């Protein structure tokens, strides 16, 4: 097995995780979580989103989070923006990176952003242009790269087409979202191989939700194709409000444990990461979803 020597982990818990919580988490708790994640060695931490507060009220305080956060040199704090209004708010809050997000399925695009795929890409063109002018990095997301909760299986060619458009707009990387976590390694491999005909594999990231417990297997399969960036959520926080039944992203602790075992460098301190996961899980009043975090806690309690 020829695997990358290093992997870059993108922590999405404070955004993808907390956007899906019924209870709203105070800005101070979000900030304390993000600071703990930076302390654990994460270099890219999604801090929130500048979307409509009517659609996602949980992210309405992202401006306050960015403003009050003690930023660590060398750490980037991307935020999702759906349109120019979001971009302007992100800029005013001093963002250093944005993420634009489209879907490979028309129905998901409508439910998530109230517009067609083509309209969403048209909205992102001026955002990407404005970001370039301001020297702000742009990351691109494609959702429903395997299945759509409303349409079922999605053709890999449809994923490649949207990914290529986001890449052409200037995204430095395209994160491939298995939004509802139904993917298994064979389908994930075919999807990545198809997208890699349009975009170099070192510009692709895996963003796998763990609804069916397949995310680690999908990460291993992706590593074998040379993908070396993965998104994950501490304590397995997350889901998507417009993807009923989808659970959280793969837990960051579980990914780090897998990569440590394979001898792949991440720069992340697993004990500190697990502590950050316990911190946010306690704030939410539940146990971490990460199996590794639970095993470490059980071992520590002996
Ligand atoms: P819309 O209602 O069609 O927007 O929503 P509109 O342009 O018609 O405006 C309606 C109102 O919203 C107006 O206010 C606007 O000012 C306001 P009013 O005049 O009624 O008072 N508005 C905004 N307010 C704040 N910030 C903004 C903004 N834009 C408009 N940026 C829109 C369209 C795209 C805005 C909406 O559908 C939306 O915010 N969608 C975001 C949904 C979302 O955040 N989903 C989760 C993130 S994606 C995800 O989780 C998937 C991912 O993890 C990958 C994977 O797993 O697949 C990334
Ligand atoms: Mg997601």
| Shortest-distance Cα residue to atom 51 of ligand 1 | 143
pLDDT exceeds cutoff 70 at 139: yes
Please tell me the residue having the least CA distance from ligand 1 atom 35. Answer: 52
Residue with more model confidence, 20 or 199: 199
pLDDT over 90 percentage in the chain: 91
Percent pLDDT > 70 in the chain is: 97
The ligand minimizing its distance to the Cα of 91 is 1
Residue 23: its pLDDT value, please?
75
Instruction: Supply the pLDDT for residue 300.
Output: 82
34: which 2 tokens?
Answer: 């993000």
HEC profile of 188-256? HHHHHHHHCCCCCHHHEEEEEECCCCCHHHHHHHHHHCCCCEEEEEHHHCCCCCCCCCCCCECEHHHHH
Mean pLDDT, range 241-255, rounded to an integer: 82
Mean pLDDT of the chain: 95
Say what the pLDDT of residue 130 is. Answer: 98
Nearest ligand to the C-alpha atom of residue 123: 1
Which of 10, 16, 47, 52 for mutating ligand 1's site (highest number of atoms within 8 Å of CB)? 52
Structural domains in the chain, CATH included, are 8-301 (3.20.20.70)
Return the bridge partners of 230, or none.
9, 206
Distance between first and last Cα of the chain? 36
In the chain, alpha helices (H)? 27-39, 62-68, 84-92, 106-113, 117-133, 156-168, 185-195, 215-224, 252-261, 270-284, 291-301
- Give residue 223 CA to ligand 1 midpoint distance, Å: 33
Residue nearest to atom 19 of ligand 1 (CA): 52
The tens digit of pLDDT for each residue in 35-73 reads 999 999 999 999 999 999 999 999 999 999 999 999 999
Q: Ligand 1: residues whose CB is within 6 Å?
A: 16, 19, 49-53, 55-56, 80, 82-83, 85-86, 101, 112-114, 141, 143, 177, 179, 207, 209, 240, 242
Residue that wins the pLDDT comparison between 207 and 300: 207
Ligand showing the shortest atom-to-Cα distance for residue 20: 1
Residues ≥6 apart with Cβ < 8 Å to 2: 224
Residue 302 has pLDDT above 80, yes or no: no
Residue 239: the pLDDT is: 56
Q: With 60 as the cut, is the pLDDT of residue 271 above it? A: yes
Mean pLDDT, residues 261-271 taken together:
98
Best mutation site among 51, 145, 173, 204 for ligand 1, i.e. most ligand atoms within 8 A of its Cβ? 51
| Amino acid 243: pLDDT | 63
Q: What is the mean pLDDT of residues 164-168?
A: 98
Which residue is closest in CA terms to ligand 1's atom 12? Answer: 52
Mean pLDDT of 223-229: 98
Q: What is the pLDDT of residue 246?
A: 67
> Does pLDDT of 103 surpass 80?
yes
pLDDT confidence band for 136 (50 / 70 / 90): very high
Which residue's CA is the closest to the ligand 1 atom numbered 30? 52
pLDDT band, residue 245 (cuts 50/70/90): low
Residues with CB under 5 A from ligand 2 (ion): 16
CA of 108 to the centre of ligand 1 (A): 13
115 catalytic residue (yes or no): no
pLDDT band at 286 (very low <50, low <70, confident <90, very high): confident
Ligand 1 geometric centre to CA of 85 (Å):
9
């Amino acid at each position: 097995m020829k695997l990358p020597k290093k992997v870059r982990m993108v922590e999405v818990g404070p955004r993808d995780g907390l956007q899906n919580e019924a209870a709203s988490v105070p800005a101070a708790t979000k900030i304390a979580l993000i600071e703990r994640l930076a302390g654990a060695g994460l270099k890219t931490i999604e801090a929130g989103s500048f979307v409509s507060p009517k659609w996602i009220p949980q992210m309405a305080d992202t401006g306050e989070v960015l403003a009050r956060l003690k930023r660590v040199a060398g750490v980037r704090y991307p935020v999702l923006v759906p349109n120019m209004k979001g971009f302007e708010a992100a800029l005013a809050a001093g963002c250093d990176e944005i993420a634009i997000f489209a879907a490979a399925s028309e129905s998901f695009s409508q439910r998530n952003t109230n517009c067609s795929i083509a309209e969403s890409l048209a909205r992102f063109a001026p955002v990407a242009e404005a970001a370039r002018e301001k020297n702000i990095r742009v990351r691109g997301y494609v959702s429903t790269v395997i299945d759509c909760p409303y349409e079922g299986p999605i053709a890999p060619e449809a994923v490649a087409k949207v990914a290529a458009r986001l890449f052409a707009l200037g995204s430095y990387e395209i994160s491939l979202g298995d939004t509802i976590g139904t993917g298994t390694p064979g389908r994930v491999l075919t999807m990545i191989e198809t997208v890699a005909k349009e975009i170099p594999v070192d510009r692709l990231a895996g963003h796998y939700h763990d609804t069916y417990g397949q995310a680690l297997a999908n990460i291993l399969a992706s590593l074998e194709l040379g993908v070396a960036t993965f998104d994950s959520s501490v304590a397995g926080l997350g889901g998507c409000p417009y993807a009923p039944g989808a659970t959280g992203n793969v837990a960051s602790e579980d990914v780090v444990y897998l990569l440590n075992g394979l001898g792949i460098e991440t720069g992340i301190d697993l004990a500190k990461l697990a502590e950050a996961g316990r911190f946010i899980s306690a704030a939410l009043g539940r146990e971490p979803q990460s199996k590794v975090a639970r095993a470490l806690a059980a071992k520590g309690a002996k």
